Amino acid sequence: MKLACSKVENRQEVAELLTERSFTGARPKKKDAPIAKFTGPGILGNYNYGGFDGKDRTIKAADTTIFFDIPDNLPKQPGENSTFLWISRSIWLMTQAARWGQIHKFPKNAEKLAQKGWRTDLYREIASEMGIKCPKDDYKVELPEVFIDKKGFDPSDPMGYLNSFAIRANAPTRFFMS
């Protein structure tokens, strides 16, 4: 199933549509700035995943935003599409929210929260009615090549993953006195 949003030639229009006020309410401060200033980088494939420390970490990649079909150059499970609600991905998102200070700490009941919020049973039921195949499992280990920082994620050890990052909001700081 190849969706129109996934086609490279449609990416500029998709970026502009998703920036419309009805979707995001976001508008560039400068009137002459392109409407897709906020959505364009990720959708068009020119994304700066840094910036928080003043360093430019811009990458050029056609697959920075995946709408449905996972590109052949990325690992995937049988029947997997980008919209499948992996419980393990929900747990990964919680590690990122904790990493960047969006939540105070990683929740002790993360798995229960993920299962409550990401209803794979409902997704599979609806996908089946649409003729869309789905993975049989709800959890998967994410291989390093899936991530921009090349650090894999094992959902059985979210705290180990979270604590492996030196760069994060509120990271422990060490002071040495001479």
**Is 18 exposed, middle or buried (CB count within 10 Å of its CB: 0-12, 13-18, 19+)?**
buried
| The predicted structure's pLDDT at residue 15 | 85
| The predicted structure's pLDDT at residue 178 | 47
| The predicted structure's pLDDT at residue 170 | 66
CA separation for the pair 141, 88 (Å, rounded): 8
In order along its 178 residues, the chain shows pLDDT tens digits of 446 887 888 888 888 888 876 777 666 677 777 777 777 887 888 777 666 677 787 877 766 788 888 878 778 888 888 889 999 999 999 999 999 899 999 999 999 999 999 999 999 999 999 999 999 999 999 999 888 788 999 999 999 999 998 877 765 555 455 4
The one-letter amino acid code at 61 reads A
First to last CA, the chain: 63
| Length of the chain in terms of residues written | 178
| The predicted structure's pLDDT at residue 26 | 66
Q: Is the pTM higher than 0.75? A: no
CA separation for the pair 97, 151 (Å, rounded): 16
| The predicted structure's pLDDT at residue 162 | 94
